[in-house]
Structure 1
Amino acid sequence: MTEVATSDQLLMVIDPVAVRADGESVRIAKDVLSAGATTKVCLPQGPEEFVRALERRGSRRPVVVGDDRALVRAVSLLHRQRELAGCGLSVVPVGGALSLARALGVPTGAVAAARAVLEGAERRLDLLVDESDGVVLGTLGIPSPAAWPTAPETAEPGRPWLRTCQSLVRTLVHARPPRALPTAPGPRPSRLRVEVDGVTLVDLDQPVRAVSVSAGDSGVADVEVRPVSVGAEAAPLMARGRTVTVSGGSFRYRADSIVSGPVRRRTWTVWEGAFGLTLPVA
């Protein structure tokens, strides 16, 4: 780890979602940071202003106050600008989704997180980067198609009469006596080819239940494939490597809780020590 000087000038970029979710924690973090360092506070009103604030940070060290999505947004921006190598990030987790920050080692209490910004040290962490410059800080998951929720039925904007008709139809249908329905076939598993450093770990002839890929700080990714089995549960297939390619039928994937896709092929490469994150000193 690299020690962080408390005399650094800080740019506190507050995600508006954090203010709505827990304004008191935001206030506490601001008070602690302002008492320990020269701090400029920026409260962007949307994603565009959030991006502009980071772009205009100058020599100030950015401190993101927000949830996991705000952290991923900041890392993604700095990666696209190819500025991650020279710009360490700090984060004060505030909001509902904080599992990524917690997994990376950031305290989730406002006081402890703010003190870690002032007294902690920078640790270089690996990133998973795909061919479209998308980044994964924690874990990438590809569950079976059955794991994705079905979108609720909604009326089109500006057509309230359609919602009324939908409600009437549902009422009439529910008023009828129930009748037996044929049993629907079970959800189909995914059929994917997973290659690690060019070596096939699982091919299209072996249906899989889930694929998981995670980067750490060792320059390689950990890959786990869970095959579909009949009877006893099949043992997961494990591998480690610098590049992971998934291809086959169209699939969606969840990267740091953000859903992307569908795509037919995607390759992730480990960028070793790609970004610096301020963490408490052990």
Structure 2
Amino acid sequence: MATSATSDQLLVVIDPVARRTDGESVRIAKDVLSAGAAGTKVCLPDGPEEFARALARRGSRRPVVIGDDRALVRAVGLLHRQRELAGCALSLVPVGGALALTRSLGVPAGAVAAARAVLDGAERRMDLLVDDSDGVVLGALRIPPVGGVTPVREVVADGAGHPWLRTCRSLVRTLVPARPSGIDPAPEAGPARLRVEVDGRTLVDLGQPVAGVSVVPGVPGAARVEVRPASVGAEATPLSAEGRTVTVSGAHFRYRADAIVSGPVRTRTWVVRESAWGLILPPG
């Protein structure tokens, strides 16, 4: 559902990564917004803390973030934790390298088109996936994360009898800091043994190794969950379900929520909050 953007007073928060990545696009977007809005305040935060303070002190101004997927997720997460998402419509001008999420949400590519959408667009309310640590997911959740790193010990484990490999292993141990006590180890590469529950019903249990789990928006108020069992021989058929609550538990696992990798954790629950946040998009 879309509603017209009403406030002409803008708070433009320019993410530092965007300034470093493409200063020209940032300048163009700032010029278009300043020329088209009744009043524009520009903030140039140097880090996450200043980014948070700028949003918290926005007053009645409409927040506009110039940045990439991570900047958008950070803004939504901050407003969620401040319990101010319901009354605040966000706008985004995408600048940076990681923009897959913003494209999937319908934000126009290009500084001029996106800035004009901020001025002339309408608010569209969308579902939000919120976990039990108050983290948010706007788009896709994946376990294991795409592009995960193979643990170093798998590369150097065959060093017995090879002096040059033992030397490499010693060098790796010198360069890689020791894990602080109390921090969970990274999960092993390969199939995971996880229990996946959707609205309290078990979709896959610990006895079935899985190659991957994905959670994406489904019908309004629900998420679509797909589990790919680890195949032996012929490819196994994916298991799928839709529901409001998704719980994953079992061995330590990492997960990729939008552009951010988190974990390892032993269990995590995500709940869909229907129409929880608003984004200004082109009308129509």
Q: Same fold (TM over 0.5)?
A: yes
Aligned position for 1:246:
248
CA distance in 2, matches of 1:229, 1:51: 45
CA distance in 2, matches of 1:239, 1:218: 14
Aligned position for 2:52:
51
CA distance in 2, matches of 1:217, 1:123: 15
Read off the aligned partner of 1:84 and give its amino acid letter: L
CA distance in 1, matches of 2:128, 2:17: 25
Alignment of 1:68-107 (within 5 A): 68-107=69-108
- Compute the displacement of 1:45 (Å): 1.3
CA distance in 1, matches of 2:68, 2:137: 15
- Report the more deviating stretch, 59-68 or 224-233: 224-233
SS at structure 2 position matched to 1:90 = strand
Q: Looking at CA atoms only, which structure, 1 or 2, has the larger radius of gyration?
A: 1
TM-score by length of 1: 0.85
Q: 1:126 touches 1:216 (CA, 8 Å); kept in 2?
A: no
Aligned position for 1:232:
234
Of the candidates 271, 274, 279, which is equivalent to residue 272 of structure 1? 274
Read off the aligned partner of 1:12 and give its amino acid letter: V
Q: 1:217 touches 1:272 (CA, 8 Å); kept in 2?
A: no
- Compute the displacement of 1:232 (Å): 1.5
Q: 1:125 touches 1:216 (CA, 8 Å); kept in 2?
A: no
CA distance in 1, matches of 2:32, 2:190: 52
Deviations 1:28-81 (A, max 9, x none): 000110111021111111111111000000000000000111111100000001
Read off the aligned partner of 1:226 and give its amino acid letter: R
Alignment of 1:6-45 (within 5 A): 8-37=8-37, 38-45=39-46
Aligned position for 1:143:
144
Read off the aligned partner of 2:231 and give its amino acid letter: S
- Compute the displacement of 1:169 (Å): 3.8
Alignment of 1:141-220 (within 5 A): 141-143=142-144, 148-150=148-150, 169-170=167-168, 187-215=189-217, 218-220=220-222
Q: 1:126 touches 1:217 (CA, 8 Å); kept in 2?
A: no
CA distance in 2, matches of 1:205, 1:15: 45
Q: Does 1:111 align with 2:112?
A: yes
Q: 2:150 touches 2:189 (CA, 8 Å); kept in 1?
A: no
TM-score by length of 2: 0.85
CA distance in 2, matches of 1:263, 1:17: 29
- Compute the displacement of 1:212 (Å): 0.2
- After TM superposition, the runs of 4+ consecutive aligned structure 1 residues lying more than 3 A away are 150-153
Tell me: CA distance 1:190–1:152, structure 2 relative to 1, closer, same or farther (3 Å): closer
C-alpha RMSD of the superposition: 2.2
Q: 2:143 touches 2:254 (CA, 8 Å); kept in 1?
A: yes
Q: 1:125 touches 1:217 (CA, 8 Å); kept in 2?
A: no
CA distance in 1, matches of 2:5, 2:20: 30
Q: 1:217 touches 1:273 (CA, 8 Å); kept in 2?
A: no
CA distance in 2, matches of 1:50, 1:246: 32
Aligned position for 1:178:
none
